[in-house]
Every structure is written in C-alpha cells, then in structure tokens.
Amino acid sequence: MKKSINSIGRFMFILLVLFSSKANTQFNKLVWSEEFNGSGLPDSSKWSYDKGKGCPQSCGWGNNELQYYTVANTNNARVEKGYLIMEARKEKIEGAEYSSARLVTKNKGDWKYGRLDIRAKLPAGRGMWPAIWMLPTDWKYGGWPRSGEIDIMENVGYWPDSVLGTVHTNAFNGIKGTQKTAGLNFKDLSTAFHVYSIVWTANEINFYVDNKL
C-alpha cells in the first residue's frame, strides 16, 4: 500500500544573529550567528531538539498542538541552499496525525540582554502557528510562566497578516489573559522574508519587524 504524506507548511530561516554590549544599548558586538551554511541536518553544536508530544508533563506542549516533534529528521528540519527549513507534514507518527520539528539552542546559545535578529519566511494556512520564543535556561522561579517567556515572533494561521510580540510573566500571561503583547500587520509574511528582532535591556524589551517598532 502506498503511503501518502503531504507537506502542509514550511518555516524558513536565512539568518540568526545576536549582538551584545555591556557599555550601552547599541549592541554592536556580534556574539553568536547562524547563517545555515552547508546542507543536511542543522548544526548540532548550535541546535538541539524537543521531542514528541510534550507528554506526560504537558501533552500538546501546553498549546493543544497536534504534531509529533521528531529528532534529527531531515523531512522536518534541514539546511538547504543557505536556509533552515522546518517542515510540518501530514503523516501518522507515534499516535499523532502530523510531524514537525522544534529546535532549541538551550545550553548551546543562552543569552541575557542584547539584540536578536531572525530573518524568516512563515508558512500559511489555518492550523499553522510558527513562533520564535525565548525560554529560561534554568527555571529559577518555577515552571511556566513564573520564570518568564519572550515571544519574539508569533503568527496564528487564522490571522495570517499579523505578527505578534509577547512577554509572559507570573503576573502577566496567557492563562490569565493579561500577557503583554503587540503586533504589526503585513500582507506577505508567507511569500517574503522579514527580519524579526528584539532589543532587550535591563529596563525594557522592544520588538521590531524590519526595524519597525
């Protein structure tokens, strides 16, 4: 019997860079970058994977997600022609109906304060939820949301022209509906690359798309 597998969305990155500076907020010293040279699996010295469906601690990863995250599978995450491609696929796997990838830099690239720029093109379609998040290396103040979360970019499939930047804390978070969030509208998120950025200092976090605050 022929097995049918459909690609349902591609999330493409071309560049990730981080700048920092102790003296001021210009952040003019490059401390980390990823330009996705080569081909095949992502660089294991910079990237690790979250695996599975989030069970048993948080099935659906706390977001009612339907996919199973694979590890070191080029069908779901690969470097190709200068891009990192993260691909969601409709296929049965480990009790899920979809596969995808969730890459993390934890313990390989961990930062506090700086400017982070990511150039990416987003997938389109209802059910898509591409996101670039920052989570704690050490959950010093407890589980989510006590130790915080910074969402550099989120795009929800049923709201395709909007990009959101959000901060979650114990006082302000999605469970309570008090999260601090703001957004911008673009018509070409799935057809053109945009640069998603934050500038994070001890006093504030500013979110940008193509340098627009």
Q: Which residues are catalytic?
A: 149, 154
Residue 129 in contact with residue 64, Cβ under 8 Å? no
C-alpha closest to that of 42 among 11, 19, 71, 8: 71
Dist CA 209 CA 119 (whole Å): 10
Which of 203, 201, 200, 160 is closest to 183 using CA atoms?
Answer: 160
Counted residue by residue, the chain has a size of 213
